[in-house]
């Protein structure tokens, strides 16, 4: 399965991002092949709908799970409809650590915060 991690930079030691739609990079990690690539999030600067656009991009890339800080309600709706699982990235951990925790089953499911 491919997983996507929202990140502040394009190295594995970069911090995971506190936001989904407006993060700087997505790390796409293929848990079967071990293939890892960092993709710039082209939706980060969108006037509206950064979350829906980012979710569309990840669906197009064939991602099955997302690890991120806060995921907004619109993006959440898209990810749910696409059957993409959502996991919380604890604040202050690196992409590498997040992937290891995910593999160890140590990440909590992401819940949408309602304001």
Partner 1 sequence: MIIAVASGKGGTGKTTVAVSLALSLDGVQFVDCDVEEPNAAIFLRPVIAEKIPVTMPVPEVDETRCSGCRTCAELCAYNALVVIGKHVLVFPHMCHGCGGCTLICPEKAITEKPREIGVIEAGHAHSMDFMQGLLNVGDPMATPIIKKLRTRLNTSKTVILDSPPGTSCPVIETVRGSDFCILVTEPTPFGLHDLRLAVETVRQLKVPFGVIINCADIGDDAVEDYCREEGIRLVMKIPWNRRIAEGYSRGEPVVQVMPELKEQFMKLYAEIATAVTAAA
Residue ranges in contact with partner 1 by CB under 8 A: 43, 46-50, 52-53, 55-56, 59-60, 74, 77-78, 81-82
The nearer residue to partner 1, 22 or 101, going by C-beta atoms, is 22
The answer to whether 68 touches 75, Cβ cutoff 8 Å, is: no
Residue 33 CB, shortest distance to partner 1, in Å, is 24
Residue 100 CB, shortest distance to partner 1, in Å, is 30
Residue 42 CB, shortest distance to partner 1, in Å, is 11
Residue in 75, 61, 68 with CA at minimum distance from that of residue 30: 61
The nearer residue to partner 1, 43 or 94, going by C-beta atoms, is 43
The answer to whether 53 touches 78, Cβ cutoff 8 Å, is: no
Residue in 29, 45, 49 with CA at minimum distance from that of residue 37: 29
CA-CA distances (angstroms) from residue 48 to 14, 15, 54, 68, 80?
26, 25, 11, 19, 20
The nearer residue to partner 1, 77 or 97, going by C-beta atoms, is 77
**Residue 87: enclosing H or E segment and its boundaries?**
strand 85-88
Residue 54 CB, shortest distance to partner 1, in Å, is 9
The nearer residue to partner 1, 36 or 46, going by C-beta atoms, is 46
């Amino acid at each position: 399965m491919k997983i996507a991690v929202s990140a502040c930079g394009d190295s594995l030691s970069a911090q995971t991002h506190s936001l989904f739609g407006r993060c700087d990079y997505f790390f796409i990690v293929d848990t079967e092949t071990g293939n890892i690539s960092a993709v710039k999030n082209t939706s980060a600067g969108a006037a509206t709908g950064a979350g829906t656009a980012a979710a569309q991009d990840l669906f197009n890339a064939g991602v099955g799970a997302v690890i991120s800080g806060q995921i907004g309600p619109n993006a959440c709706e898209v990810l749910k409809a696409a059957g993409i699982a959502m996991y919380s990235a604890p604040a202050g951990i690196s992409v590498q650590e997040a992937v290891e925790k995910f593999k160890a089953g140590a990440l909590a499911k992401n819940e949408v915060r309602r304001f």
